[in-house]
Structure formats: C-alpha cells, structure tokens
Amino acid sequence: MTIISSLRRWRSACQDSSLVFLRDVGHGLLDVCHNSLALVGFCVVAALLFAGTRADLRHGLEQHTLAWLQERQEAREGTPVDDLADLAEPSAVDRATATDPHLLPRQQAAVANWLSRRYKVAPEPLSRLVQEAWSVGQRMGVEPTLVLAVMAVESSFNPFAQSPVGAQGLMQVMTRVHDDKYQAFGGIRAAFDPVTNLRVGVQVLKECIARAGGLEAGLRSYVGAAITGQDGGYVVKVLAEQTHLRLVASGKSVSFTAPLPVYRPQTPDEPAISTVAEPPRPAASGAPGEADVVERVALLH
C-alpha cells in the first residue's frame, strides 16, 4: 500500500508540475504575442505618420496601388484598360524636362516652389529650369535670379510662347536672328526645347549686357529698345522680379502675389528693333576706294 500511495503522490505531483509548466508557458507566449502585436502596431503607426509627411512616398504608393489595380482589372477582363496600352513608351519620361524639387539645394527649391505658385506652373519642370539657370548662370557669369526674372517677364514660363515679332520660347529669343546659336543643338526647332532656349537666351543676354556696358542698358538691348530707350517698363519689371527672387533665395518670406510694375510689351506697329552698322565691305570691282557701308535691321531681343 505504501508503494501504491507513493506512486499516486508522485503521479499527482508530476501532473501538478506539468500543469504549472504549461500554464507558465502559455502565459509567456501570450505576453510575447501581445508585446509583438503592440510593437507591430507602433511600427505601422510610425510608418503611416512618416509617409503622411512625405508627398513623394505617398505619390509613389498611390501609383503602385493604381498600377496593381489596373493589372487586376486587365487580368479579369482580358483586355487593356484603355487604348493607350498600344502606345505605351516607358522611355518617354527621359524626354520630360522635370526634376523632383526635393532633390534641389534648399535655396533653389525655395525659388522653384515660389515661382510654381506665382505662375501656376508645375513644380517639377520649374525645378529643372531653376537648376539649369543656376548651372548655366554661374558658368556664364550671369546671376541665376536675373535669368529666371527674364523668363518670368518674357514668357511666364511658357516654353511655346511666341511674340508678334517672332521671339520664341522661354526667354523669347529671336530665333531667326540667333539661328547660328541653335546649330550646336540641332537647329532652330530646338528653340522650343526649354533647356536649350534657356542656354541660348543666357548667351544672348550676356552679350547684350557686355555690349551695352551695364545691366539696365543690357536689358534694354535684350528687349530691343537700345536705340529708343522706350522699353515699356520692361527693365523695371525684370529688376523688381529679380529682387523678389533674391529675397526668396535668401530665405525671406515673399508673397507669391506680390505686384510688379506694369510692362507694356512692344506691338507689331512698334517693333523692338535697332539699326546696327556693319563694318565697311571691300570696295566693289570698278569702284576702288569707296566704302560700302550697309545698315541692317537686327532684332536684338
């Protein structure tokens, strides 16, 4: 009997120990799961808060989700979602004149965002133009804010703009006068490429300032008012816009609705022209010693 009683007590003790062990393990697993779920929830909330402050991440997630839904739709229907599927060209993005403003230095990003709001133009293409204005302007010794101010006044950042007298593109360069400058870019059709027009325009602006001997006189030469001096308020407006851009670039707060002086552009009846005397040509045969001075009308805009 004693042995049987001992076995029973031993069995009961084992059962109690096993129950305690299993109960402790169960509580431990429950705590681990609870803490793990709490950690996962915290990570999810943190990720959502971080994504909410990053417009680029949010945009990328939306694009990824939309693409996934379109793929599901196409797989279900067995037909393309729209007729553009046959015209798809993934490399088309390489032709876009655009840059993410978040990739720009703070100074340039501030200018791009301000111009975007002021002229109601998408920030991505404006960011590319601001980036190019800084690069080309510094290389050619022309202040980038002046380049952007000229673009703003000339075309309001419309790369396909054309004036009544034939000035074209962002900086309203007279294509037929400066066609030689476009040869390095493939021809005069490059005038409607925003970056090319900017580069050629900066070169023309630099030449005008150097030839005129000063900024204001150079701007009058650029707009074609070097002879008459009547620029319709063009110089005042460009310099006022440049002042705004300098303030924005320095971190100052400037209203994007800040007014500018009124600029009266030239009309076809008042073409922006100046008469430039070319060097004397060699004497014609049969008339030795005579200087044949030919004056040409050149649109210096």
Query: For residue range 71-82, what is the model confidence (pLDDT) as tens digits?
Result: 776 666 654 445
Pair (145, 48) in one structural domain = no
Tell me whether residue 283 is in a domain.
Answer: no
Pair (245, 133) in one structural domain = yes
Structure tokens at 81: 């979602």
**Residue 161 near residue 192 (C-beta atoms within 8 A):** no
Could you give the C-alpha distances from 287 to 54, 56, 107, 293, in angstroms and in order? 77, 73, 63, 14
CA atoms within 13 A on the CB side of 88: 7
| Alpha carbon distance 142, 138 (integer Å) | 6
Enclosing domain of residue 41: 2-70
Pair (151, 235) in one structural domain = yes
Please give the pLDDT value at position 264.
57
Tell me whether residue 295 is in a domain.
Answer: no
Structure tokens at 211: 């030839």
**Residue 171 near residue 198 (C-beta atoms within 8 A):** yes
Task: Tell me whether residue 236 is exposed, middle or buried, using C-beta atoms within 10 angstroms of its C-beta: 0 to 12, 13 to 18, 19 or more.
Answer: middle
| Alpha carbon distance 42, 34 (integer Å) | 12
- Is it the case that residue 277 has pLDDT exceeding 50? no
Number of domains making up the chain: 2
pTM (whole model) above 0.75: no
Please give the pLDDT value at position 248.
97
Angle in degrees, 0-180, between the axes of helices 144-155 and 194-212, rounded to the nearest 10: 110
